[in-house]
Chain A
């Protein structure tokens, strides 16, 4: 039992480290194939070209902006999410199984619906109060 538990825990830790360490490689491989998502041109050159209607000899300068600085942040958040999902999911799995092994077959011991028939002699339903409440519904159109 101890061996099984130790072995499984070891596998779990190794796979977690492997997954975390592979993520940056996967991310950078994906980035290398991507087209730049943001293109900035020399604004002055473009404006001048538009005004003078003379094609510019220089091609606009392509600059990749703002993508690399957020990558490590995303990886970290993804790992946190993965860890949270793993902890919650595992806890639910353990709880359901432990609960399922206790009190198997704990059902109603006396089927009173069939074995204890009721013979009603009095059945009164008397109205004692009626009230109406209202509330205004907030509409999104009011904000526009």
Chain B
């Protein structure tokens, strides 16, 4: 497998994509280069790209190393194993960024990418600001050692553009109340409601990983701003981890259809206005046309093990939206709850005594 490291045009040091600058940055000579600079340079001097040789182990499903790849880092020569979905990583010895180009070739090559917009420093600052509001987090959760575990990862998503046509049959009711003398009247008017039309779903995202334990987080870090999509090129992955998809379109077609059907029902239901209550009796929906794109989206990820349980914190690498199930220091919570209980007891007793 080809392991590729992009080198600085000036000094030959490893290049990484810098989210703050929106360009490629050399940590050695501090040089900054655009995507165009790199493409022109590598087109002119092909000798700059070191094609490392990698032995792909025989794919034995029973073997621990089955479906993994062995690659040789072209900076330090170390042999490192990457799991089956890894498309970009760092050499664990010299920490140089490495892109496993074959993993993102052919049908697995993404169409587009949203580059990281939030830098590592900003991600950590946002995380600290987020944690400040939570007083029952374990102390270790906001330590520097934990912050260093935060990693920028490009995750694969299927992006669906589709036109659905259909409609709903519903019953709408309006109520009117008034009083005359000693009587209260209620008038109920019932309507047969019919709505039909076309819905144009644009860029509906669905994760393209099969059994990733981060699936929930990958769903709720959405939405991304579609306008910042760029055509995919390998250099964007440098300096970050990346996963390649292991889910084909046909594997999730039914699931996506069901999710879009749910959204269509809400959209049609919301188009019925002016009633006190609306009950949808039936809905029909069919696909007129559909196109699927495969894109890479940036996510800052951090996992935390607390009391034997794994907690995940994720941040959208473009918008900064957070998602996560946070660990709770139950001792701290119970302590504060006890004090709250005492305070309420005193207030309640005094109040009860005054009232009674």
Interface residues of A (CB under 8 A from B): 1-2, 4-5, 7-9, 11-12, 15-16, 19-20, 23, 74-75, 77-87, 89-90, 93-94, 97-98, 101-107, 109-113, 115-137, 139
Contacts and interface: CB of A to CB of B under 8 A. Distances in A.
A131 B188 contact: yes
Interface stretch (B7-15, B67-75, B106-114, B345-353): B345-353
B348 A86 contact: yes
B345 to A, nearest CB: 4
Given A118-B268, A133-B185, A81 B322 contact: no
Contacts of B172: 125
B342 A116 contact: no
A82 B267 contact: no
Given A80-B352, A106-B323, A116 B199 contact: yes
B348 A82 contact: yes
Given A127-B189, A139-B182, A89 B342 contact: no
Contacts of B347: 82, 85
A15 B268 CA distance: 58
Interface of B: 134, 136, 167, 172, 179, 182-205, 219-223, 263, 266-268, 270-271, 321-342, 344-353, 355-356
A26 to B, nearest CB: 9
Contact of A85 (B198, B326, B345): B345
Interface of B is mostly: mixed
B174 to A, nearest CB: 9
Nearest to A122: B196
A79 B351 CA distance: 10
Nearest to B314: A105
A105 B322 contact: yes
Contact of B325 (A75, A101, A129): A101
Contact of B332 (A1, A78, A135, A139): A1
Contacts of A111: 223
A76 B330 CA distance: 33
A74 B351 CA distance: 12
A106 B271 CA distance: 25
Contacts of A115: 201-204, 223
B129 to A, nearest CB: 13
Contacts of A112: 201, 263, 266-267
A116 B337 CA distance: 45
Contacts of B182: 136-137, 139
Nearest to A98: B328
Contacts of A15: 342, 345-346
B263 A109 contact: no
A80 B356 CA distance: 12
Contacts of A74: 353, 356
Given A4-B335, A112-B267, A81 B351 contact: yes
A137 B324 contact: no
Contact of A132 (B185, B204, B324): B185
Contact of A122 (B167, B267, B333, B335): B167
